[in-house]
Structure 1
Amino acid sequence: MSKPSLAPFIRARPWLRRWVQPIADWYVNSCGYRQVGLLSDDLIPEESDTVQKALKRLPPKEAYDRVFRLRRAFQLSLQHTILPKEEWTTTAQDRPYLSQLIEDIERENKERQELDAMVPNKK
C-alpha cells in the first residue's frame, strides 16, 4: 500500500497546487466511482490479508455502509445506470475510512517482523 507520492511536494507549493488541482478534480470525476455512490477506499482490492484484517476492524456501522455502497454500485452496474446527480458522492463525503487501518496493520506487521528478527545477546 505504501507508495512514493508527489502529494506532499505539491501541497507545499500553492502555485503548483493551483495548477494541478483542476486536473486532479477532472481525473477523479472521470473515474466514475462517485457517480454510483462509492468512496475511494471502496475501490481497494480485498484480496490481501492486510485489507481483510482492516475490514474486520471496521466499526459495524461503517462495515454496513460499505456493503450497502458496494451492493448499490453493483446493482447500478447491472442496470447500466448511474445515480441522480444529487446522490453522487461529493468531495466532502469522499474521505478515507480504510486506508488508515491498512497503514496501522502494515506498521504492526513491520514491527512484528523486526521483533521476530531480534537476536538476544547473552552475556
Structure 2
Amino acid sequence: MVSLAPFVLKRPWLVKALTPAANWYAGASGYRQLGLRYDDLLEEENEAVQIALKRLSAKESYERVYRIRRSVQCSYTHKLLPKDQWTKPEEDVPYLRNILAQVEAELAEKDALDSMTVIKKH
C-alpha cells in the first residue's frame, strides 16, 4: 500500500492545510462517539497485529478490551455514548502502531532471512 503521509509530513504548509480536513474526517467517522481510539480499529486477523496485541501491557490490553466491549454494547442498543464519554482528539493517541511497526519490521527481517540463499564460492 502506498502512503502519502511521508510526502505530506515533509511539507509543514501541507500539514497545516490538511489538518482541519483530517480532524473533521476523524470526527465524522463516528468511532470516537463510541469511546474508541483509532488503534482499536486495526484488523485483528493480521498476524502482525496479533503479535503486537500480545506485547501490550496488561493495563493497555484491559482498557482496549473495555472500549471495544462498550462500543459493541452501544452498537447493539443503537445508541451513542453520552458526550462526556466520547474519546477526545487529544486522547486518541497511538498505543499500538509503534509496536506494530516494530513487529512488521521483525517479520520482514525473518522472512528475508528465511528466504536467503547461500552461494558457494569455488
Rounded to whole Å, the distance in 2 between the matches of 1:15 and 1:86 is: 33
Residue aligning to 2:74: 76
Rounded to whole Å, the distance in 1 between the matches of 2:13 and 2:95 is: 29
Between the aligned residues of both structures, percent identity stands at: 48
Residue aligning to 1:64: 62
For residues 62-103 of structure 1, what are the alpha-carbon distances to aligned partners after superposition, in whole Å with 9 as ceiling and x for unaligned?
A: 000000000000001111111121211111111111111111
Residue aligning to 1:96: 94
Structure 1 unaligned spans of 5+: none
Residue aligning to 1:25: 23
Following TM superposition, the consecutive aligned residue runs of length 4 or more in structure 1 with deviations greater than 6 angstroms are: none
Rounded to whole Å, the distance in 2 between the matches of 1:119 and 1:18 is: 50
Rounded to whole Å, the distance in 2 between the matches of 1:42 and 1:17 is: 24
Residue aligning to 1:115: 113
Of 40, 43, 63, the residue aligned with 1:42 is: 40
Residue 17 of structure 1 deviates from its aligned partner by: 2.5
Residue 28 of structure 1 deviates from its aligned partner by: 0.6
- Note the aligned Cα RMSD (angstroms): 1.7
Rounded to whole Å, the distance in 2 between the matches of 1:112 and 1:7 is: 26
Rounded to whole Å, the distance in 2 between the matches of 1:108 and 1:12 is: 26
TM-score normalised according to structure 2 size: 0.88
Rounded to whole Å, the distance in 1 between the matches of 2:29 and 2:3 is: 20
Residue 27 of structure 1 deviates from its aligned partner by: 0.7
